[in-house]
Amino acid sequence: MGDRTAEENSFQCTSQGDEHLIGLDEFLQRLNTTAEGLSSEEALRRKELCGPNLLEKRKKESLLKKYLKQYGNFFALLLLFGSVLSFAAEYLDPGQGNIFIAIALLGVVILNATFTFIQEYQAQKIMESFQNLMPPTARVKRDGEIVELPASELVVGDIVYLEEGDKIPADGRLIVQNTLKVDNSPITGEAEPQLRSLECTHEDMLECRNMVFSSTLVQTGNGEAVIFSTGSDTQIGKLSLLTEETASVDTPIRRELNHFVKIISSIAIFLGIAFFIIGFFIQDTVLASLIFAIGIIVANVPEGLLPTVTLALSLASRRMAKRNALIKQLESVETLGSTTVICTDKTGTLTQNKMAVHTVYTGSGYMDAASGQEPPEILLRVAVVCNNARLSEEPPGYRGDPTEGSLLVYAERFRDIRKMQEGYPRLAEYPFDSRVKRMQVICKTPEGNMDSYLKGAPEVLLEMCDRIMADGNESELTGPKKRQLEEEYLKMAKRGERVLAYAFRKAGEVKEYKEHFIFLGFSGALDPARPEAREAINRCYRAGIKVVMITGDHPVTARSIASLVGLTNEDGDPVMITGTELELMPTEELSHKLKSRSIIFARTSPLQKLKIVRAFQAAGEIVTMTGDGVNDAPAIKNADMGVAMGSGTDVARESADMVLLDDNFATIVNAVEEGRTVFDNIKKFIAYILTSNVPEILPFIAFVLLGLPLPMNVQLILAIDLGTDILPAIALAVEKGEGDIMDRPPRSSKEKLLTPQVLLTSYGLKGPIEAVAGFACYFAVMYGGGWSWGQQLAFSDPLYRQAITAFFAAVIVCQIANVFASRTRRQSVFAKGMFSNRLVLLGIASELLILAFIVLHPFANTIFNTAPISMEYVLLAVPFALLLFTADELRKYLIRHGSASVRDVLGW
């Protein structure tokens, strides 16, 4: 074959998409190969032309470039600008403490950038898990001999040998198969392994049984396949590229924080520039105006916000881990709280993934599978021999199709099924097919005769039977009796059981029989719904969250589970959409159906799952998507919140934002509750930290407009933002949710962290009270020390240092009252219990310790330009603190009992 001309060797490296449809001769001719395979020389030429059988990775940005990008946001640029100004002020007037300000601001920027970089770096690992799916070696026919080669050496046109337990190395078309059964779930999501065929059975390549696909597993049998796609051209390769090309979606909390930072930064820049100009014209000194600009910027920007948010999300993720939800991306904690749609798997998430025989019905009546009553031996024989599953030592006790596996586990209670299989060896198998809905095997009996054993859909088998066996006796299967049997299996199906019927007949030759069977009975297998699933779905409905089941399974199976777990619309049945219907459905019709409360998507492909997620997002929904297979990875990554099963594939777990350690739908709902609480709490500590901005900004305005000695310096502002406010803010972040948190609708995508109501509460109510307290203590010290209006004091003057210390102490005292007031948004603090959050008490203790250190310690006095003061000046702030607390309690009372307009103005 290596002597062929270039023209003869012409072929395409990429699949044309119709390899399953064309005749085998045409297929082999297109690939320029034969059933004897390729020569080594030809294989080498093809590898050089098409590349190795590997999943390619796109070139990634360098780590340095990724890290430097973190310094390009508004927040970082503003703080860097403040740091540069501080360095300039230190250069113009050394020894005034500006060097400490410059270093502190620079440290905040570096800390925030490093946090963000670490989170983004984790996303680069997603594609590595795809490489692990490629098998290391494959058995290939080269130069007329079977050799074992690295899977990366495979090329288009190679003949590969497949046996039980093999991971298929590339996409191929079968040319030989012997009861070959393949688990396609990594590609299609189909739960049941499917028997292969040499014939084209479906127009869709993924559904066609003459195809095998890279990364799928051979369950039973053996065969040979001609490779027609390798590397990134395989179905798994396309999924790999699709996942890589799918852009990760910004989390709602990230979008909100960006919005918050832009507003605060804009205010800071505007005030900084405006008052720099005003200060220059009033005081005619560049240095004084420069100090003022630095102060305005530092006072407006809550430097501790991002570290506090990060710590708050980290604490929430730890709480969720204790509830079996492992968060990979910290910001995703809050995304769960804004979820409006949950797209969930069926098997293992809504069910226990423990398929077991629940009911047996024979001509003699019902048998409870749990009772230990032994069914007829002939029925057990059909269930065991007409079966392609195998028993296993590992849970759930079998390998293969769950329904067939459950039959073996059930039969093993009464018979040695291995001896039964050996005693009735197969001579032929006519596999289950979605069109014929039955499986038939011809077996040799110990007496040397042949039997035909049949199992399948009840309505199909009943049409093939004309006799029935009851208590070991045969009788005619009449029309009325058939109708009675139909009623019985419908009762079983309505209980959510997967019903199979069993029949047999004598066989005179090896062929497929279609009539004159003897009916033996039904079995009903049940994958029990998780007992907590129904209540979890009800909680979703109460919380205004739409629940959508997306599965690769049959619609009937999906619908039965939906009824068990309460997945219903107002009129009962959920909306059912199959993958085929979805493909043909106009966008307008899909958009209309997506408005239903409960929806089931059955027989879906990976691209269709991604299409569903994007359709919901286009409608303005916040989507949480669950999955466990490789085929789920693109949709998981594209969803606002990707959730993988702990028992799922590495690819799914790498692509997800959260991993369910117990694969339980109820855990998702618990996580949603936690996410809602997180958003509430972030708003609480934002309102808390913004309050201190007012007493931080007003001293600089008074410094410029009134000519006062600066009432508070930049060092003390940083001490508040990066010191005293941090632990109380974190304490607010771990507050338990208010009682109605899962009875509210999901928060609107338009709801912001920073609202006019938040600004009114912080800047219009509590902040001014803190500022008045600060000025009261400041003037008490100044006038008590003999100062007169208009008199200028040097920064090193002991009286000035005591006055700014008093101002700082007053702000801290009022912030203690503020942290208590901020524990609730609408309820009275007394309804929660003043001391129920011990971390709040620890936060207050930390504030007092920092205050004592800055006021009393000589080293701190040097850094912050402070001086010890009498306790009476600190106590002077207490009435203002009580006023602040009372004013906020009054605000909450008016929200609870006032008119709608009052709630709109005061509520946040």
Choice between 438 and 103, residue whose per-residue pLDDT is larger: 438
Does residue 666 surpass a pLDDT of 50?
yes
Nearest Cα residue to 112 out of 63, 84, 74: 74
Instruction: Give the side-chain half-sphere CA count within 13 A for 725.
Output: 31
The closest of 71, 99, 105 to 303, measured between CA atoms, is 105
Which DSSP string corresponds to 607-650? HHHHHHHHHHHHTT--EEEEE-SGGGHHHHHHSSEEEEETTS-H
Contact call for residues 436 and 504 (beta carbons, < 8 A): no
User: Which residue shows structure tokens 């208009």?
Assistant: 790
Asked if omega into 396 is within 30° of 0 (cis), the reply is: yes
DSSP letters for 332-400: HHHHHHT--EEEE-STTTTB-S--EEEEEEETTEEEEGGGTPPPPHHHHHHHHHS---EE-SSTTSEES
Cα distance from N-terminal residue to C-terminal residue, the chain: 77
Q: Which residue has the tokens 């502002």?
A: 717
The strand pairing partners of 140, in sequence order, are: 147, 160
Residue for token digits 């003699």? Answer: 364
Compute φ and ψ for 815, nearest 5 degrees.
Answer: -70, -30
- CB count within 10 Å of CB 717 equals 27
- Average pLDDT (600-616) is 83
Q: How far apart are CA 507 and CA 520, in angstroms?
A: 17
Which residues participate in catalysis according to the annotation? 345
Q: Which residues contact residue 789 at a Cβ distance below 8 angstroms, ignoring those fewer than 6 apart?
A: none
Q: What mean pLDDT do residues 276-296 have?
A: 68
418-454 burial code (b ≥16 CB/10 A, e <16): eebbeebeeeebbbbeeeeebbbbbbbeeeeebbbbb
Spatial neighbors of 832 by CB under 8 A, at least 6 apart, are: 735, 823, 824
Q: How confident is the model at residue 4 (pLDDT cuts 50, 70, 90)?
A: very low
CB atoms within 10 A of CB 841: 15
Closest CA to 79 of 684, 722, 732: 722
What is the pLDDT averaged over residues 395-407?
A: 80
- The rounded percent of the chain whose pLDDT value lies above 70 is 87
Q: What is the average pLDDT score of the chain?
A: 83
**Which residue is listed with tokens 């390899």?**
19
Task: Name residues whose C-beta falls within 8 Å of residue 592's C-beta, 6 or more positions apart in sequence.
Answer: none
How many Cβ atoms are within 10 Å of 273's Cβ, its own excluded?
Answer: 13
The answer on pLDDT for 71 being more than 50 is: yes
pLDDT number for residue 286: 65
pLDDT band for position 318 (50/70/90)? confident
The answer on pLDDT for 606 being more than 70 is no
Predicted local confidence at residue 8, as pLDDT: 44
**Using one digit for the tens of pLDDT, what is the confidence trace for 623-643?**
999 877 666 777 888 888 888
Mean pLDDT across the stretch 748-777? Answer: 88
Mean pLDDT check: name the lowest of 84-98, 171-185, 346-360, 365-379.
84-98
Is residue 827's pLDDT more than 70?
yes
- pLDDT one-digit tens code per residue, 842-896: 999 999 999 999 999 999 998 889 999 999 999 999 999 999 999 999 999 998 8
More confident residue, 745 or 56: 745
More confident residue, 541 or 345: 541
The closest alpha carbon to 385, from 455, 433, 335, 490, belongs to 455
For the cut 80, the answer to whether the pLDDT of residue 439 exceeds it is yes
Q: What is the mean pLDDT of residues 753-777?
A: 92
- In this prediction, residue 321 has a pLDDT band, given cuts at 50, 70 and 90, of confident
pLDDT at 317: 76
pTM for this entry: 0.65
pLDDT band at 304 (very low <50, low <70, confident <90, very high): low
Choose among 777, 825, 823, 827: nearest CA to 803: 777
Comparing 243 with 379, the larger pLDDT belongs to 379
| Best CA proximity match to 229, nearest among 401, 11, 442, 446 | 11
- More confident call, 343 vs 401: 343
pLDDT band at residue 383 under the 50/70/90 scheme: very high
- Structure tokens, 282: 């009033």
Per the document, the length of the chain is 908
How many Cβ atoms sit within 10 Å of the Cβ of residue 481?
Answer: 16
Sign of the torsion angle spanned by Cα atoms 858, 859, 862, 868: negative
Distance from chain centroid for Cα 116 = 19
The pLDDT of 568-583, averaged and rounded, is 82
- Condensed to tens digits (0 to 9), the pLDDT of residues 232-281 reads 889 888 877 776 665 555 666 677 777 777 777 777 778 777 777 776 77
Query: How many CB atoms neighbour CB 73 within 10 A?
Result: 19
